Amino acid sequence: MELIRNRAGDFPARNDKKRQKADIFLHTPEGVWRREGHYLRPEDLGGVVAAKPDVVVIGTGANGVMQVPEKTVRWLEEKGIAVKVARTAEAVKLYNRLCRDTRVVAALHLTC
């Protein structure tokens, strides 16, 4: 799995050292996501389900502004996917710990 390198004061960078500036999925066929501002809906997560992870780590932004409604969490859990929600810096750390031995997808909001 791909580790995320996180530099202080910078957006996360993947192992390819490409700096990320938009919301991203890691390990799904899709890239940029979210239909509506700072609100994560089940329909935004089709690529997550298609990737068949055991866990999805959702980063809610540097200040935790992006909302992850309970219905979104329940929708993933009903599909057998565990959900971890944290501010993006902590989500990156969690993803890096899990990706070594777990099928995990990161869905990261990279601003606010």
Residue 8 CB neighbour total at 10 angstroms: 5
Give CA–CA dist 10/14, Å, rounded.
12
Query: How many alpha carbons fall within 13 Å on the CB side of residue 17?
Result: 0
Per-residue pLDDT of the chain (112 residues; tens, 9 = 90+): 455 655 433 444 444 455 544 455 555 555 545 566 788 999 888 888 888 999 999 999 889 999 999 999 999 999 999 999 999 889 989 998 998 899 998 888 877 7
Residue 90 tokens read as: 């902590």
Determine the residue type at 89: A
Residue 84: helix, strand or coil by DSSP? strand
Q: Is the dihedral of CA 81, 86, 92, 93 positive or negative?
A: negative
